[in-house]
Amino acid sequence: MDTAPATPEPRDRAAGQPAADPFATGPLSAASADPAAYLAADAVIDHDHPAIRERAAGLRRDGVAETARAAFEFVRDEVAHSADIGRWSGAYRASEVLARGDAICHGKAHLLAALLRAQGIPAGLCYQKLEVLHGLVAVHWPGSGWVRLDPRGNIPGLVDSRFATDPAEERTAWPSDPEKDEYHYPTVHPTVPPVLLAGLARTRPGAGGYDYLPAEL
């Protein structure tokens, strides 16, 4: 997602009931029953690339959660979102994103998934329907299940995505407005969905790259 969607005003569901949380996400479930699918390398989440392996090793910490946090904060804070800097490299493969230093949300999600899988941490891709399809990462935690991480990149006063190991603590970049048919998809994909991959493969450097992306899955 390149620009901020309008933040909806809280509305009461009924008199005396609290307003719905626009950042509510909902539970996740795996698209594949094979746990190994969420550790595998492929052409996009290419964690077998030497540069990914080297960067992942540099992010290793004493515990699994702290290693995952370090990877998340690296991608969120050190890899620029293309729209924020106006550079628009067009990179979407994890190793290319790492080399070029910027990407849109999908490329950043692919890099985070690769860095996590390189450490043996199960990770997949999940999505939010906004004006265009927004990409996130889900990590599987024993006892907690799948938890969303949004490495899009923070914007002071506007975006404040955070690390979490529990679904109740998820904090993603953008709110969802049900009146605009915006919502989080409930599925964790082990690979990039074909309709999105086709759009990413057509993208060229420049802001017009968003024109090739699907609005929904």
What number of helices (H) and strands (E) belong to the chain?
6, 8
Q: What is the pLDDT of residues 18-68, one digit of tens each?
A: 446 888 899 999 999 999 999 999 999 999 999 999 999 999 999 999 999
How many whole angstroms separate alpha carbon 117 and alpha carbon 113?
6
pLDDT band at 8 (very low <50, low <70, confident <90, very high): very low
pLDDT band at 209 (very low <50, low <70, confident <90, very high): low
Query: Mean pLDDT across the chain, nearest whole number?
Result: 90
Q: What is the pLDDT of residues 105-146, one digit of tens each?
A: 999 999 999 999 999 999 999 999 998 899 999 999 999 999
pLDDT of residue 207: 67
Cβ–Cβ < 8 Å for 176, 31: no
- Structure tokens belonging to residue 23: 């950042």
Q: What is the pTM of this model?
A: 0.90
pLDDT of residue 23: 87
Indicate the domain borders of the chain. 30-212
CA angle 191, 6, 108 (to 5 degrees): 25
pLDDT of residue 19: 46
pLDDT band at 158 (very low <50, low <70, confident <90, very high): very high
Query: Domain 30-212 adopts which CATH fold?
Result: C8orf32 fold (3.10.620)
